[in-house]
Structure formats: structure tokens, C-alpha cells
Amino acid sequence: MSTGLSSLRLISGVGAKGPACFVLQAAGRRFMLDLGEGPPPGKLPELDGVGSLDALILSHGHKDHVGALSLLGKKRGAPPVYATASVAAALPKNLEVRPLPISGSTEVLGITVTTGRNGHAPGGVWLHFAVGGGVLYTGDWSAESILYAYDPPAKPAATALLDCSYGGYDKPIAECWRELAPFVERGPLLLPVPANGRGPEIALEIFRRGFSEIFVDEAMRDALALLATSDRLSLRAGIAEDITRLAAAAKPIDASHPSGIMLAASADGSSSATARLLAAWEHTSEPAIVFTGYVTPGTPAERLVKGGRGKFVRWNVHPRLSDVVGLVQAIKPQTVIPAFCDRAQLPLLAEKLAPARATMEPTIDL
């Protein structure tokens, strides 16, 4: 264990796909960065030995980053939770939530924290801490989204904890569309998606390409309505009008008549509308079913893809290898910690990110 005064502890999320949870210790304070649940569903970070915290700071609202808030409590000092307005709106009401800007700087318990939009989810941000030569935590991020705005981090950071979910994968999002397009053109098609992530983005791409028969579940309908109103700050410039038109055009899914392009949560089919639709359609020939995100072991998504009833076509919502390399060249860290990918990716990433030192050691001295 580190004896340094300033350190970054990798509690969970490095070395294997798993819930995000890190502890930044600096200036006599202990900040937890994200506190997620899964994948796989139900997996929680191991907090034994973490002790009391001064704050929990959230990068975005996805379950693998915020799903374990029940682990906060007296043992952790019931710390305040820092989150952007869009993320805070979906948090349990019993928490003491303090605001984070979606793009800008603020003081968190005496430390300057700079944020920018992460191109990945409504209200999602990367976080830069003015400690130890600069510490950047990207949370999840994407430089390619057609929907969510991305503010590239520019402040130098000696230590960078980076979303490297895709490891050495480097296909552009245009390639994802080329693979998905035949399914969209053929129809009817069910796309199980997260409503607060790539769901609205894929819907927008399809809508912009002239497909007007778009059907959504309640979660997607609500997410589109928020993007057209209170989540607007997370949108790329110039697309608010398209989102408003899409929100108005999308119709409810009718389980008895699969037609057009249907987008429904949850992405892995384990709950919500997708679970109900899969129960109706798993053993029928229509509609086609295409999963576009991480196929979590033990979920209906895995069962359908393995059995051939479902297909997998990735839709990029994390950085490609070339995006990670570009970010590292911009902020010039001495140490990079690749997060959310398997340890087997480390040799390749170390080679591509040199001269920065890439490491997955459990504790990094700052």
C-alpha cells in the first residue's frame, strides 16, 4: 500500500470490466470517484479498507458508475455527493448533493476541479483535479458522438485515469453505421439500448437518414424529452432542433405488431421494456434483434447472441485507440492508467501510449 501523501487507489474498474470506483487522496482529503454496480449485474466494489470519505464525485449517471450509492453511509462518513444537474436529477433524494459544472471550474473542499462534457451521456463529464501535477479522470468518454458534446481536456495532467474500454479497437463510428444499416433498411428491427446513452444517439442517426418509422419505449421517450429540454447543455451544437423533431415523431412500441425501428431499454434485455419484448419475440422470426453495446455475461443479450436469435453490432460510445492516443498526446501525462478493459490489453496500450508509463498497479503515488 502507498505511503505517499497524495495517491490514487484503483478500487475497481481496472484490469477487468467491472464497476467504476477509485479513491483520490490529496491535500488531506479523500475523494471517491464514482461508485458503480456491475458489470456483471450485482457486482459491487470491495470497499473494505477504504475508510471514511470527504466526498464522492460522479462522472455520469450510468449504473456502472453510480449504482452502488447504497454503500455510502456512516462507515464512509456519509460524504456529500458532487454531480452535474442532469446526473443529480436521477439520484436518490436522501443524498446531500452538491453541484458540479458541466463545463468549467469549481472548488471541491479546497481543490480546484475542472470539468468538461464527455461526449457519452446526458450530464456526463470528465474531471481534472489540480493536485500532484494534475490528475485527469475521464469517466467514460467518446470523441465521436453525433449527439453528445465533447469538450477535449486541455489542462496538463501528470496522471491520467482513462476510459480504454475498447482496448486496441480502432474502427470509426461510420463503420458501425455501415454494419447496422442493412438491419435498419430491412426492418422490422429491435435495438435494445440504454435510454441515457447510445439509445437516443442511434435513434437520431436513423432519423437523420430519413427513416421516420421510429418506435420507442417509455424510457427512450422520456430521455428524448429531457434531451430536448433540461439536458440540452449536453447536446452538440446545432442539433437541438433535430432532437425536438425526433422526440415528437417517435411513436410507442406495439408488442403485438413489430414494425419499423424499435428502440427500448434495458440494453442487455434483463429488465424493463426490452425484457417484455424479448419474452414475446425471442422465439419468433421477426423482428431482427441487434445488440449494440457490451454483451454482459449471464444476461438475455448473451443468450440471444450465442443462440443466433440476436446479433451484435457495436456502436461506439467509448474512445477508439486512436482517440486515446490523441488525448495522451494533448495532455502529456507521465503515468496513464487504462480503465475498464482487460489486463491483457496493457502491453499493447503501453506500447501505443509511450513515453507515458502505462500501469494497472492498485495504488499510484502522485
For binding to Zn ion (CB under 5 A), which residues are involved?
Answer: 62, 140
How far does CA 84 lie from the centroid of its chain?
Answer: 15
Q: For Zn ion, which is the closer residue by CB, 140 or 231?
A: 140
Q: For Zn ion, which is the closer residue by CB, 30 or 62?
A: 62
Of 75, 82, 27, the residue nearest 53 (C-alpha): 75
Of 348, 329, 41, the residue nearest 338 (C-alpha): 348
How far apart are CB 53 and Zn ion at their closest, in Å?
Answer: 22
Beta bridge partners of 290: 311
How far apart are CB 219 and Zn ion at their closest, in Å?
Answer: 16
CA–CA separation, 90 and 231 (whole Å):
12
How far apart are CB 49 and Zn ion at their closest, in Å?
Answer: 26
- Strand, helix or coil at 15? strand
Q: For Zn ion, which is the closer residue by CB, 87 or 304?
A: 87
How far apart are CB 102 and Zn ion at their closest, in Å?
Answer: 16
Query: Residue 80: CB partners within 8 Å, gap ≥ 6?
Result: 55, 56, 96, 97, 98
Grid cell 433524494 is found at 93
CA–CA separation, 147 and 166 (whole Å):
20
Q: For Zn ion, which is the closer residue by CB, 54 or 323?
A: 323
Q: For Zn ion, which is the closer residue by CB, 140 or 302?
A: 140
How far apart are CB 288 and Zn ion at their closest, in Å?
Answer: 26
CB 358 within 8 A of CB 346: yes
